[in-house]
Structure 1
Amino acid sequence: MSFPGTWMTQSESVVYRVVPKCACSTIGQIMYYSDHGQFFDGDIHDAKQGLHKWAMEDSKPLITRNVQSHGSYAFTCVRNPYTRILSSFFDKICGIQRNGKRYRGNLVPLLIQKYGIEVGDPETGFAFDQIKSFRRFLLFARDTIRWRRPMEPDIHWSAMSGHISTFIVNGGRYDKIFWTEQFNDGMQDVLNGIETAHPVDLAAIPRFNESEGHGPKRAHPVEDYFDDLSMHLVYEIYKKDFQLFKYDAQNPGNKMPVGDIDLDEVHAKLRQ
């Protein structure tokens, strides 16, 4: 049994399945704070202690036992597929990563060569045609997900339902799935369902956006990036995400959900 991307507080008060680009830095810091009364100094993804993570060998048996026995409240968080793929483009493709380099080394040169994408650079203020480049990136993302070429799909733009399903297939069950777009309400429901060593005041918690400020700012409204073909591609890639997490596939400008998430439906469809 494997639970990739699963984090758990040291106190085992709560279990969280990470979904990239869905407020995971903020959620991880809240979990860390709830146990220790302070935030982790740095990017929570780099923390090697203070939080159990599936990527750490010592944590695996503890997470496995807890998840399979449903020993703790378990949750995850989702985001509108349109804004999530846009965020992935600006952060991972256009942005300079926290190590001062481009994401995944040769990925950006590959995109420039094979898909004609421009990404700009800090020296010129990241000046480039964002809409044209993003639409070409969408073709690349679709190719990686549909045909696994020219590379395997990256975790930052692979479907949320794929991340979330690994937890279910291996015997886990979620108590809550909430929307990034209604973060405080959803996270408060989680906190209300668990006991924490240190009280968490969500109104006072900063947002930990580790990718912010390292790349170009989005220059246009979300809907301007998606023409009819782009919307078709996004729906092809993320059909299950739209359906299960109740987002509006017809209107990229509406980031809010249009219905309630049915946990039983999610478990039934993602267990297959």
Structure 2
Amino acid sequence: MGFPGTWMTTSESVVYRVVPKCACSTIGQIMYYSDHGEYFDGDIHDAQSGLHKWALEGSKEPITQNVQNHSSYSFTCVRNPYTRILSSFFDKICGIQRNGRRYRGNLVPQLIQRYGIDVGGPDGTGEFDQIASFRRFLLFARDSIRFRKPMDPDIHWSAMSGHISTFIVNGGTYDRIIWTEDFNAGMQDVLDAIETPHSVELSKVPRFNESAGHGPKRLHPVEDYFDDLSMHLVYEIYKRDFRLFRYDFENPASKAPLGEIDLDEVHAKLGD
């Protein structure tokens, strides 16, 4: 299986396991800058050079050698499951993607037909009941993850622990897992632990939120989207994420983690 979703600087200063919807655009740009002294011009996900990516054929061998030998500092980044699934909904389901089309072609029309989801019309600009529509999307997300119906789960709303585990199962070891909610402090710890060709001042790094502007603005506080049934569905999907990364399941309004991540526990429980 190798190391899907793994990026590495060309200088091999650091290895990063991408978790979608967890500051991956910003992290990728920081890695790119640390090697080249400039940011990639465009969405870092489109970069075909200047950064090793598992999806690039020429990167597979150096990534495999590095990760299996633990030659470089390796890290990943996680996010509160409540805000992550909400972000996925507004970006991928309600939003028009940067190619000018809906995400995954017929996915949204299928959800409108099967689950009664409303996304604000063809261009996403119409008014719609965001809360009711999101809760119906949650049913779809649960069905795709638990039962792989009506389709396989998408990387943007499948559990973070699933992404993170592939790195461990295939021989990788994490030195750090940082939180999106405390990004600068966590990313600074990563930068302090490595040597890069170009130094990075985090206070000057722009936020490369590639999904911003794709979808409608969220109109309500996070907690308003989750009633008792919605919380049950979220826990059914993301139970391991809440436990391993120390997020508060009981209170959707509480974004911050409740305690430190135990890396030994993560490796033990996700390495099976």
Q: TM-score range by the shorter chain?
A: over 0.9
Note if contact 2:91-2:214 (Cα within 8 Å) is conserved in structure 1: yes
The residue that corresponds to 2:5 in the other structure is: 5
What is the CA-CA distance between 1:265 and the residue it aligns to?
0.3
What is the CA-CA distance between 1:125 and the residue it aligns to?
2.9
Q: Tell me whether 1:232 sits opposite 2:232 in the alignment.
A: yes
Unmatched runs of 5 consecutive residues or more in structure 1 = none
CA deviation map 1:17-66 (0-9, x unaligned): 00000000000000000000000000000000000000001000000000
Note if contact 2:141-2:157 (Cα within 8 Å) is conserved in structure 1: yes
Matches within 5 A, 1:1-272: 1-121=1-121, 125-272=125-272
Note if contact 1:176-1:190 (Cα within 8 Å) is conserved in structure 2: yes
Query: Partners of 1:186 and 1:123 in 2: how far apart?
Result: 37
What letter corresponds to residue 183 of structure 1 in structure 2?
A: F
The Cα RMSD (Å) is 0.9
Unmatched runs of 5 consecutive residues or more in structure 2 = none
Query: Partners of 1:124 and 1:77 in 2: how far apart?
Result: 30
Percent identity (aligned): 79
What letter corresponds to residue 57 of structure 1 in structure 2?
A: E
What letter corresponds to residue 159 of structure 2 in structure 1?
A: A
What is the CA-CA distance between 1:215 and the residue it aligns to?
1.2
What is the CA-CA distance between 1:212 and the residue it aligns to?
0.5
**TM-score, scaled relative to structure 2:** 0.99
3-state SS of 2:45 partner: helix
Query: Partners of 2:237 and 2:221 in 1: how far apart?
Result: 21
3-state SS of 1:156 partner: coil
What is the CA-CA distance between 1:232 and the residue it aligns to?
0.3
Note if contact 1:36-1:198 (Cα within 8 Å) is conserved in structure 2: yes
- Count of paired positions: 272
What letter corresponds to residue 243 of structure 1 in structure 2?
A: R
**TM-score, scaled relative to structure 1:** 0.99
Note if contact 1:126-1:216 (Cα within 8 Å) is conserved in structure 2: no
Query: Partners of 2:124 and 2:173 in 1: how far apart?
Result: 48
CA deviation map 1:121-167 (0-9, x unaligned): 47673310000000000000000000000000000000000000000
Query: Partners of 2:86 and 2:123 in 1: how far apart?
Result: 22
What letter corresponds to residue 159 of structure 1 in structure 2?
A: A
Query: Partners of 2:234 and 2:244 in 1: how far apart?
Result: 15
Note if contact 2:67-2:171 (Cα within 8 Å) is conserved in structure 1: yes
CA deviation map 1:170-216 (0-9, x unaligned): 00000000100000000000000000111100000000011111210
